[in-house]
Amino acid sequence: MRRFSYLISILAFSVLACVFWEHIEIVTNWVVARAGYRTGVADRVRQYEHRVIEVLKPMFMSRGIEYPPSKFALVAIKDAALFQLFAYDLSGRPVHIKDYPILGQSGTLGPKLREGDRQIPEGIYRVTSLNPNSICHLSLRLDYPNEFDRSMARRDGRTRLGNDIMIHGKSLSVGCIAIGDTAVEEIFVLAARSGVQNVKIVIVPTDWRKTPFDAKLIGRPAWLTEFYAQLNLELQHFQL
């Protein structure tokens, strides 16, 4: 009976973790900090950088870009479950470096509109911080909701937009982008070396570089048509 109760407790915790994934990282980090087990960003960089350099530096050099790059961009394509790394050359042109599969995502095509909708945001974002003590191995926090998200919410009369959107490791995610531990180590180290202020994140529903822009993909809210047109123009800068 005791073993059965233990299994039920684990199952209940797993369900709650999935439902409240957007907030569980904050609680976990608080517990870790109180316990005194926090590891710094620099510690994580030292831990993973040797492998990251072995993998990524030859890729950068073969494309004529120094490692670490002065700035880079990440393009996430929802329906392809694809995460692409680009770095900028001396002329400011983004050059394709590497692809990563997205191992965990939730929701459907379309932007995130409210807390708890399980949607991954769509748009152009920045990284605000790195978390070396994430429940999902490592994570990069995005600036969702950004000014555009808040502006459209005011137009629609929406509140409680949600927050705590991450790019992280592991393979399970609700509202965030899970790319696995190995991939997030590479992105984490790059962001630490280049500076989080030099990282751009572009999240799109589909790859308009391969498929012509199609109004059939566009639904509500009313501002989505214009927004997708602008997002399509941004995506076209990142040619393969």
Minimum mean pLDDT range among 1-15, 26-40, 61-75: 1-15
What's the pTM value of the predicted model, to 2 decimals? 0.85
Q: What is the pLDDT of residues 164-220, one digit of tens each?
A: 999 999 999 999 999 999 999 999 999 999 999 999 999 999 999 998 877 666 667
Question: What 3-state DSSP class applies to 214?
Answer: coil
Q: Are strands 82-88 and 94-101 parallel, antiparallel or unpaired?
A: antiparallel
In the predicted structure, residue 33 carries a pLDDT above the cut 50: no
Which pLDDT does position 212 carry in this prediction?
83
Q: What is the pLDDT of residues 103-162, one digit of tens each?
A: 999 999 999 999 999 999 999 999 999 999 999 999 999 999 999 999 999 999 999 999
Closest CA to 232 of 150, 151, 123: 123
| Domains annotated on the chain, with CATH | 2-235 (2.40.440.10)
Q: Residues of the chain with pLDDT > 90: what percent?
A: 78
The three-state DSSP-derived secondary structure of the chain is CHHHHHHHHHHHHHHHHHHCHHHHHHHHHHHHHHHCCCCCHHHHHHHHHHHHHHHHHHHHHHCCCCCCCCCEEEEEECCCCEEEEEEECCCCCEEEEEEEECCECCCCCCCCCCCCCCCCCCEEEEEEEEECCCCCCCEEEECCCCHHHHHHHHHHCCCCCCCCCEEECCCCCCCCEECCHHHHHHHHHHHHHHCHHHEEEEEECCCCCCCCCCHHHCCCCCCHHHHHHHHHHHHCCCCC
**Are 227 and 217 spatial neighbours (Cβ–Cβ below 8 Å)?**
no
